[in-house]
Structure 1
Amino acid sequence: MDKFYHFLTIASIVLYWVLVAGVTIRVVLKRRAVSVSLAWLMIIYILPVVGVACYFLFGELNLGRTRAERAKEMLAPFAEWFAKLNDCHAHSPESFGRHIYRIDELCNNRLGLPALSGNTLSLQSSPDDILHSIIEDIENAKSHIRMVFYIWHPGGLADSVASALIRAAKRGVDVKLLLDSAGSPRFFRSQWYTMMKESGIEVLQALEVSPWRIFLRRLDLRQHRKIIVIDDKVGYTGSMNLVDPAYFKQSSGVGQWVDIMVRVTGPTVNVLSAIHCWDWEVETGSRTMPQLPECRIDPNEPQHPVQVVPSGPGMPEHLISQVLTLAINQANKSVCITTPYFVPSADLLETLKMTAQRGIKVELIIPLKNDSIMVQWASRSFYTELMEAGVEIYEFYGGLLHTKSVVIDEQFCLVGTVNMDMRSLWLNFELTLAIDDEAFTKEMYWLQKSYMDASHKVKLKEWHKRSMYSRFLERVFYLFNPLL
């Protein structure tokens, strides 16, 4: 019996190291950032068994066979729909500012999706104002409502939005609601889910989470977009989930979440509708393409071009990351960034450092307290080299700053759902608007300044005095960069 257990032990060790060797070879052969590959190798070797299991679950972008095949087949017809927008009068590159001109080139060449003028934009930063505005537009809906959110959390004004949707469905409006399975578990256990379905609303779980799917696709791949489209006339997107912050994560110790939404009218709304149609087809296989936008543009009115930049499995890789890098590299005076989760790739880190080193004012505003302890410590591991390069870092103490925004030269901005971490830039279904509207951008920058007023500036001399314990935690959690 002792010999059997001895043999079993030796066989288990050999099998484990063969498995480790196989995973190591797979990590090395994958074409991705060297820093990501090295981080995974350290996790695999530092955390025996757990590291290998983590790689199988989270190490590769695996959408699942059915969804992956759908996404591959969908790209051509959606690219054809996008390409038709180039013939629209709303696409007028000759009138574009220098910031959006290059971004239009990039998105057009990679996805066939152009920037479109003739939009009106409204920046909304009060949660009550946002939710009341959404309710009012739902009440005025006549034909259809399309929504996709990462989180729907019942309570407060979120329930009023749900009631408005039910009333809309009962008066004949076609309502399609797509919610991420992992982000909205409380909604799917609530009475609202049942009441919506009974009223005729189509409610779907995106990327459904269940134990038997562990080896079928990557479980932490998330539907992270926030989109509302009403009658292809009014659209919303931004950082805010369908939650009332006064009723959401009140026990987490980080304060209320601080968010924005952008209310849009004009041809960009049809593009947002197309992105919802893409997400709906990935989940269901059912295709419903939106109508093409009206192209009548008044040359005497401000043009306000907007580039919609989507990302996710099945779409061109790293598109949002490329747009972000391109925008930052075009800065002549200033770059101001807000993000709740800051764990940048090596390329983005170098872009920020180089921008500051060429004399551009770079300001980074992130929350003092974060709902992810791992992200909070990992973020701080970048402070020293950023500040030494000249980047100014502000820690916001007015709640969990969840706004995702980048303002370039106070003339051009990016707003949307994208965090500055590997998950958003490489993995999730995300959406960013690149906005060439100086008045809107100045309003966005004033909001960023108000965030700075509720922050303290991190000073390099004081930062060097932090404890060895803090330095140790920063480096430990930095190793988990691929999982954050």
Structure 2
Amino acid sequence: MTEVDWFGLGGLVLQVVLALIVAIFVSANRKPESAIAWMMTVVFLPLVGIIGFALIGAQRLPRRRRDKQRHVSELIMARTEGGLARASRRDQWPDWLPPVARMNETLGALPMVGGNSSDLIEYYRAAIMAIADDIDQATRTVHVEFFILIHDDITAPFFDALRRACERGVEVRVLSDHFTQFTYPARRKTQRMLAEMGAHYQPMLPLRPLRGRWQRPDLRNHRKLVTIDGIVAHTGSLNMIADHYHKRKGIKRGLHWHELMIRFEGPIVRELDAVFVTDWYSETDELLPLDYSPVRLDTGDRDAQVIPSGPSFDNDNNLKLFAAVIHNARHRVSITSPYFVPDSTIQLAMITAAARGVDIELFVSATSDQFMVYHAQRSYYEQLLRAGVRIYLYGEPTILHAKHLSVDDDVAIIGSSNLDIRSLSLHMELMVLLHGRDVVDELRVVQDEYRQASRLLTLEDWLKRPRHEKLLDNVMRLTSSLM
């Protein structure tokens, strides 16, 4: 009679029970591909999977932070009912835009407003100088929010302008992401400088477990925003740091970042400042006024809407926005994203639009500063190329870090969000939707410059890449689902 291997049997039973527990807890309110990836990790690598899920399994911020977001959203909605929701050229919108604008307002609380002017700023130092010049005109408030905020030779004009503002008695408030600051030099020097000049500084999403401040460590605030007196605002893709990001390996390779910022005047500035007010309240418990009136109400003819997103909301706001506009495109969509690891919703929307005859083009960098993301995003190219999507690889040694879409001839979306799973679900992001033929024409000029500096990727060339690269791309794609 064969002796029973009780140890082996017990291990098998334990693994089955563990798989059932994982299936129950991991799959709750989680996308199927993510749930399956976590289940496989826990079943085949139990210790790694359990520790990993304990650290990064939660997809939302703690309830107290989500409650703050909900409270400010309710205040904004009440304010909007008082007459702020207006668009100057609603009769010229494409027929699909009103329900999309309504969806954005339902999810993010901020309405489409008209009477705005905007200017694109494409070059790194020009963007920093434009922000500094506007800060020098401030008389009341300067609100600053950046994912990365480091004083160095390139950003010195910005910090000098903040110092001059403080000396004039302007109230300067500054936010930057807490965890990300630790990975860059001059972090403490930058914070000391802000304190010495009299600016009020707060880290965003601080990880301080001994003080009861803990959440999933890779839930970060990725927004980039400056508002001045409620009159002028800047937002886009720029982080306030030198364009080589002080990365030694990148400097050796000659890497530098290329951005796109947009400067606003008009009612949209008030909506952008509401995002800062929300984040300041989340970090300090101080709720700044939401109901002040800007000095300049109508400065242009562009309709615009701010769409904040991230783990403080109950929905993936930007994911729904991007999917909606791609599905509604009639003849052309141009997408720029440095990190392209799309949710299946976005991938399907692009393939479906291409099948409908929509001209889809995607601008990404030929190189990257992030190994895993670089290889994960390459795993999506073949399916897109087979569907007819044109992929342009922006030439080395530049990292094309701008984030924007243009849809048909009159809708543009510009901001901080990549089309990757992290930005779409895990990071706090900020995008602005604009309607206007002229702003799309401006963006098309930028995209034409990208095209000239890029190499068109063909399916034939892509299929010839070495087998080891294909394997690495596919393995990294699996890791992207662990969210």
For normalisation by structure 1, the TM-score amounts to: 0.90
**Alpha-carbon distance in 1 for matches of 2:16, 2:254:** 42
Residue in 2 aligned with 1:256?
Answer: 256
Higher mean C-alpha deviation, range 309-318 or range 446-455: 309-318
Higher mean C-alpha deviation, range 61-70 or range 454-463: 61-70
Higher mean C-alpha deviation, range 442-451 or range 90-99: 90-99
Higher mean C-alpha deviation, range 69-78 or range 271-280: 69-78
**Alpha-carbon distance in 2 for matches of 1:49, 1:213:** 28
**CA, structure 1 residues 47+238, in 2 after alignment: closer, same or farther (shift >3 Å)?**
same
Per-residue deviation, 1:404: 0.5
**CA, structure 1 residues 205+17, in 2 after alignment: closer, same or farther (shift >3 Å)?**
farther
**Alpha-carbon distance in 2 for matches of 1:277, 1:387:** 43
CA RMSD, 1 decimal? 2.8
For normalisation by structure 2, the TM-score amounts to: 0.91
**Alpha-carbon distance in 2 for matches of 1:156, 1:247:** 12
**Alpha-carbon distance in 2 for matches of 1:290, 1:215:** 26
Per-residue deviation, 1:403: 0.5
Q: Conserved in 2, the CA contact under 8 Å of 1:85 and 1:114?
A: no
For these two proteins, the number of residue pairs brought into alignment is 475
Per-residue deviation, 1:147: 0.9
**CA, structure 1 residues 348+260, in 2 after alignment: closer, same or farther (shift >3 Å)?**
same
**CA, structure 1 residues 446+124, in 2 after alignment: closer, same or farther (shift >3 Å)?**
same
**Does the alignment pair 1:199 with 2:176?**
no
Per-residue deviation, 1:411: 2.4
Gaps spanning 5+ residues in structure 2: where? 1-5
Q: Conserved in 1, the CA contact under 8 Å of 2:231 and 2:294?
A: no
Q: Give 3-state SS (helix, strand or coil) of 2:113's partner.
A: coil
**Alpha-carbon distance in 1 for matches of 2:240, 2:451:** 26
Q: Give 3-state SS (helix, strand or coil) of 2:149's partner.
A: coil
Q: Which of 323, 326, 337 is 2:324 aligned to?
A: 326
**Alpha-carbon distance in 2 for matches of 1:228, 1:296:** 17
Per-residue deviation, 1:122: 0.4
Q: Residue by residue, what CA displacement relative to the aligned partner does 1:417-474 show, whole Å, maximum 9, x if unpaired? A: 1111111111211111111121121111121121121111111112112222112111
Per-residue deviation, 1:377: 0.8
Per-residue deviation, 1:312: 2.0
**Alpha-carbon distance in 1 for matches of 2:254, 2:42:** 32
Q: Give 3-state SS (helix, strand or coil) of 1:366's partner.
A: strand
Query: Stretches of 4+ moved more than 6 A in 1?
Result: 7-17, 295-298
**Alpha-carbon distance in 1 for matches of 2:8, 2:285:** 48
Residue in 1 aligned with 2:310?
Answer: 312
1:219-238 to 2 correspondences below 5 Å: 219-238=217-236
**CA, structure 1 residues 77+63, in 2 after alignment: closer, same or farther (shift >3 Å)?**
same
Residue in 2 aligned with 1:76?
Answer: 74
1:37-436 to 2 correspondences below 5 Å: 37-86=35-84, 89-90=86-87, 93-98=90-95, 100-185=97-182, 186=184, 189-210=187-208, 216-246=214-244, 248-249=246-247, 251-252=249-250, 253=253, 255-293=255-293, 303-398=301-396, 399-436=398-435
Q: Residue by residue, what CA displacement relative to the aligned partner does 1:38-65 show, whole Å, maximum 9, x if unpaired? A: 2222333343311221122112223134
Q: Conserved in 2, the CA contact under 8 Å of 1:43 and 1:480?
A: no
Gaps spanning 5+ residues in structure 1: where? 1-6
Q: Conserved in 2, the CA contact under 8 Å of 1:337 and 1:364?
A: yes
Q: Residue by residue, what CA displacement relative to the aligned partner does 1:63-91 show, whole Å, maximum 9, x if unpaired? A: 134423433443322332344344x5556
**Does the alignment pair 1:475 with 2:474?**
yes
Q: Give 3-state SS (helix, strand or coil) of 1:142's partner.
A: coil
**Does the alignment pair 1:440 with 2:477?**
no
**CA, structure 1 residues 208+100, in 2 after alignment: closer, same or farther (shift >3 Å)?**
same
- How high is the sequence identity, in percent, across the aligned residues? 29
Q: Conserved in 1, the CA contact under 8 Å of 2:74 and 2:109?
A: no
Q: Give 3-state SS (helix, strand or coil) of 1:179's partner.
A: strand
Q: Conserved in 1, the CA contact under 8 Å of 2:270 and 2:294?
A: no
Higher mean C-alpha deviation, range 459-468 or range 264-273: 459-468
**Alpha-carbon distance in 1 for matches of 2:212, 2:54:** 9
Per-residue deviation, 1:100: 3.7
Per-residue deviation, 1:316: 4.6
Q: Conserved in 2, the CA contact under 8 Å of 1:79 and 1:111?
A: no
**Alpha-carbon distance in 1 for matches of 2:10, 2:206:** 37
**CA, structure 1 residues 405+170, in 2 after alignment: closer, same or farther (shift >3 Å)?**
same
